[in-house]
Each structure stands twice: as structure tokens, then as C-alpha cells.
Amino acid sequence: MKDIYAGWFFDGSGKSAQKNVRLTVKNSRIESIRKYPAKDTENPNPFRTDIVDLTDCTILPTLVDSHVHLLMSGTMDQTARVRQQAARLQAADAIISDHIHQHLAGGILAVRDGGDKSGRVLKYNTNQFQMLDIPLQIKVAGCAWHRPGRYGKLIGRALESPNTLEKAIKNESGKIDHIKIVNSGLNSLTEFGKETLPQFDVTELKAAVSAADRRKLKTMVHANGQIPVQFAVAAGCHSIEHGFFMGADNLQAMADKAIFWVPTAVTMHAYCRYLTKIGQESDIARKNLDHQLEQLVKARKYGVQIAVGTDAGSPGVDHGIAIIDEMKLLMEAGFSIEETIKCATFNGVQLLGTNDMGLLTAKMPATFIAVKGDPTGLPDSLHELKRIYVSGELLISASNRNFSDF
């Protein structure tokens, strides 16, 4: 039995923070959550090892990044990016492992990988990661699917004729956790609002989603622009990735169908920052970002389920810390800190299908992060976590951030 005293407490459900909360932990799970009188911690007994004093901290569930690319870093050095993509075996494993530890240090205990062209993350997850005692869950797509001659080779493979998307998914042999489909191009940094044509039509996408459903796999679709998103939503995909310039009608349809949106607004924020730094024109990137924030305002109004995802590994988007900027952008769009935390915890868990995390309630594992100070410091206070607990046991503290044991 262990009593953990917290100054402030978010359970991840979207409810307001509670003050002066005592979590009683038994056999790694939360037995009860109660308010405590201040006198309970005025003079704690130093000989009691079953009391954890976090009265100067805010605790919340561990975080989920719902869109990452573990093989790639956030470097803007194109030579380095090419080298990462070409990395083989041990070199690739080292890159992926480094990024996993960056997420872990940031209090992120679950990530959803969106693919790489060689399936290196899938191989790592299948052959090496499962043998390591690292309390972080990785959900992998392996390689994404894209139309020949269209965007996507960076993160996947082309669908070669006469194969169909449905058959390709049916015959997928890797131990994947979800299907990634690319249904549009990238966003322009020189022409505001430029949209690309969809890569697959509604019929193809419906058949693909059905094939994935039969294998009990969710479908994540990279889609920007009204028509590419419209087709993916009509097909019944489980999440729209990015969704720049998709429009209000698509947002409403996503709310009606309970389709998640992973907006990755921080990608455009990174371009704004980088282009300004090197003295290049950043107006279009800024307009793209502003439009995405406007869509987030509408998404909140319509009730679209938002899951925080950063696209970490994209240029300028670093693993582990980019989630803080993405959370700040949600708040800039009008989300409260409670709503933002829910998007970065519980909603991510629902999308990924991970177990035993994302919500701090009775009978759930005592898996949480603690940050110094009250909730007004969030999300910036996530830059310096005080502690990470997994199943009631201390994993990382501010004084001991050594990952050599993993």
C-alpha cells in the first residue's frame, strides 16, 4: 500500500483539476482517489516509506503521441535525413532507440508510428523492442501505401498494378498494428491553400478500410484538402492525419461518424520558425498554420475527437518535446488545459487501442507524470518533469534521468 499526495490532479477525462488529492495505490493500481486535509502533510513521518509527497506538483496521465516517425529525427539537415532513411540494421535500431528514449523522457508512454519506406520500425518493434523492458508502447504501420508517382515513398511503398489496395492490405504479412494510407500530397509553402488530388477514390478506400476491419486493424489516412479528406471520411477510416484545408463539412462529418483527427499543427509551426530563422519567406507557412488553428476552433465546436500527434521526425519536429508545442497550439485554438490534456492522453489511448493508461481512476494502474507547480504552468512545465511513475513505481525522477537500464 502506498499513499501519493498531489497538490493538483488531472484524471485525463477532461474534468477540471482537483486540488489536494491523495491516491492510494495497492498492487500497482489506484485503489482510491480522495481529497486530503492540509494537515495530513504538514509534518510527514520521514520513516514512512509508503508516503510520496508531491504536494508541490501537478500529476496527470502519461502522454500519447498519436503520429510519429521513429526512424527520422527533426533535423533540417537534408543529408542527415537521407542517411537516416538509408540506415540499415544496427544503425537504424540505434536511431529508433534514441527517439524512443526521447519520448520516454518527455513522459510519453505510447506512440503511433506512421511508417517508413523500409519498414525499419516494424522490424525493430518485432525483433528487438519486444525483448527490452521499456514501459513504452509502440503501435506500427510498417510501410504506408501510396499511388505510384504520388507523394509517399518517404514513408511507404507504391501500390503496383494490378494489385489493389484491398488485396494489398489483405495480404499484408508483417505484425502491424494499423494500416497507413496516403491519400493526398503535402501542403505547399509557396501557395496558400493549394490542394492536391486524392490518390485513391471512395470505392478503393472503402474496400481498403473493410479489408483492414476484417483483420481488426484501424486505418489512418494522410489527407489534406477537401476532396481527399471527404473520400477518406466517406470510406469510414478511423483517423484523418493532418487534415489541412479540409473544410467545415468534413469536420462535421468526422464529428458525426466519430472519426479522430490528428491535426499535427506543430509541423507548420516548425516551418514558420525555421524559415524565419534562415531569413526566408514564412508568410505562407504562417497562413497555413493560422488556417489549421481556425479549423481546430471549428472542430472543438462540432465535437470532433482530437488526438494529439506531432508528426515527430518531420523537419523541425523533435521527438519527445514537440508534443508540448502541439498542446500549446490546441490551447491557442481555444482548448482548455483540461481538454488539451484529454487530447494528449485519453483520446490518444482510445485511438491507439493501448491498455492500462490514459486515465487515472480507481482500478487503473498508477501510471502518471508529475510536474513542478500548479496547472497554470502547463503545458510548458512538461519540459522539466519531476517524476514518472509506472504501475505505482518510480521510473524516472528529476535527479535520476539515466536510461542505461533500458
**pLDDT at residue 405 is higher than 80:** no
DSSP states of 153-176: TTTEEE--TT--HHHHHHT--S--
Cα distance between residue 39 and residue 45, in whole Å: 12
Q: Which has the closest alpha carbon to 219: 115, 141, 154? A: 141
Where, residue-wise, is CATH 3.20.20.140 in the chain? 63-352
Burial of 132 (0-12, 13-18, 19+ CB in 10 A): exposed
Cα distance between residue 80 and residue 77, in whole Å: 5
Cell numbers representing residue 393 in the block: 513505481
Peptide bond into 379 cis (omega under 30): yes
Where, residue-wise, is CATH 2.30.40.10 in the chain? 2-61+360-397
Q: Which secondary-structure segment (H or E) carries 389?
A: strand 385-390
**pLDDT at residue 47 is higher than 70:** no
Q: Which CATH class is domain 63-352?
A: alpha beta
Average pLDDT of the residues in 273-294: 96
DSSP states of 5-64: EEEEE--SSSPPPEEEEEEEEETTEEEEEEE--GGGGTS--TT-TTEEEEEEEEEEEPEE
The reported pLDDT for the residue numbered 397 is 85
Contact 390, 110 (CB under 8 A): no
The reported pLDDT for the residue numbered 132 is 75
The reported pLDDT for the residue numbered 404 is 44
The reported pLDDT for the residue numbered 48 is 64
pTM, entire model: 0.96
Q: What is the pLDDT of residues 117-136, one digit of tens each?
A: 999 999 999 987 766 788 99
Which CATH superfamily hosts domain 2-61+360-397?
Urease, subunit C, domain 1 (2.30.40.10)
Q: What is the pLDDT of residues 144-198, one digit of tens each?
A: 999 999 999 999 999 998 999 999 999 999 999 999 999 999 999 999 999 999 9
Q: What is the pLDDT of residues 223-235, one digit of tens each?
A: 999 999 999 999 9
- Alpha helices (H) along 184-247: 202-214, 226-235
Average pLDDT of the residues in 278-293: 97
Question: Which residues make Cβ contacts (< 8 Å) with residue 171, sequence separation at least 6?
Answer: none
